[in-house]
Amino acid sequence: MKIYFFGVEDWEKLHIERKIREKGIQGDFAFFKEALDESTVDKAKDADIVSVFIYSKLSKEVIDKMPELKLIITRSSGYDHIDVKYAREKGIKVAYIPGYGNNTVAEYTFALILALARKFKPMIENITRGIFTREGMMGIDIMGKTIGIIGTGRIGSHVARIAHGFGMKILAYDRSKNEELIQKYGVKYIGLEELLSQSDIVTVHLPYNRATHFLINRFNIKLMKLDSILINTSRGEVVELEAIVEALKEGRLAGGVGLDTIETEITAEEALLKESAITTLKLKKAAEAKYLLSQENVIVSPHLAYYTKDASERILDTTVENIELFLKEGKLLTPVPES
């Protein structure tokens, strides 16, 4: 079996190799720092198994260039960078890694909330320039504030647990209610528009799909309180970038915005436009992102809410366990669920 790993750092390679030795897994292994996409797929043209990260793009065309492929494992909880439907049509199994960073992302969510509530960004910038002042640095308590959690799955549930510890009032929006959260933490489930209008802090924890595309948009974002805080540690396309920029320019979301991921890539619909139109869209989104970075009450991070040593090791361990089970029994430990 030829087993190729793409998008791996040096320390990840060492960790994977150690786990492979411990489990006695046999195969021809190769490791690449690059993502797997149309420009690098020739390196995996004879692969039986590929393991990738979210920056890889396994389209129909890429999959077709790996005729021996039997298994794709993405080292992430999201899998929209893989054409899962097409892979299954070709008899290729697809695995993902759910649950590796539930508490990790929830903790980072509160790191963003606290940093905005206490104005860490302008404070640190001032101190770096040798300016020691309290002017403009008055923050807020989060105890007693209302937090609205959009999506109460694995990560959102941990957010509720932490929010309860801070003494916050907790609202939630989800397709299904988590009774444990209601009983343990007093979570109240309401409609999306109600949540946006009643919450001091809104935090998003949803997967990206057609139903969640621009769930927070230029229309419903106007329902949020003028001094509210908006956090997104899920996927960029769940929150419309232009809506955030428009709100900030109008003096809304004054409490701040924390984004671990932003919507910067063109959508499938936009891809049907002429090349000049696509270029214009990309430039527009780049300008919006630049505006966000310049704002004192906006914190943008490079998609690293999950990025701790503990969570990363859980990802790698589960990846190797999927490979082991597949080679032994043809099964997967964490298959991508049927849609």
Mapping DSSP to helix (H, G, I), strand (E, B) and coil, where does residue 63 land?
helix
Query: Which one is catalytic: 158, 235, 252, 314?
Result: 235
Q: Measured between alpha carbons, how far is residue 170 from residues 199, 238, 261 in Å? A: 9, 21, 24
Q: Measured between alpha carbons, how far is residue 325 from residues 15, 16, 135 in Å? A: 18, 15, 59
Buried-exposed string 111-141: b where 16+ CB fall within 10 A, e elsewhere:
bbbebbbebbbebeebeeeeeeeeeeeeebe
Query: Which one is catalytic: 269, 275, 329, 338?
Result: 269
Are the beta carbons of 202 and 196 closer than 8 angstroms? yes
303 is catalytic: yes
Written as one letter, the residue type at 198 is Q
Query: Which one is catalytic: 161, 164, 218, 303?
Result: 303
Are the beta carbons of 29 and 20 closer than 8 angstroms? yes
- How far is 189 from 192, CA to CA, in rounded Å? 9
CB atoms within 10 A of CB 301: 16
- How far is 47 from 87, CA to CA, in rounded Å? 14
Are the beta carbons of 202 and 224 closer than 8 angstroms? yes
- How far is 263 from 71, CA to CA, in rounded Å? 29
Identify the sign of the CA torsion 105, 243, 289, 291: negative
Written as one letter, the residue type at 102 is N
Residues with a catalytic annotation lie at 235, 269, 303
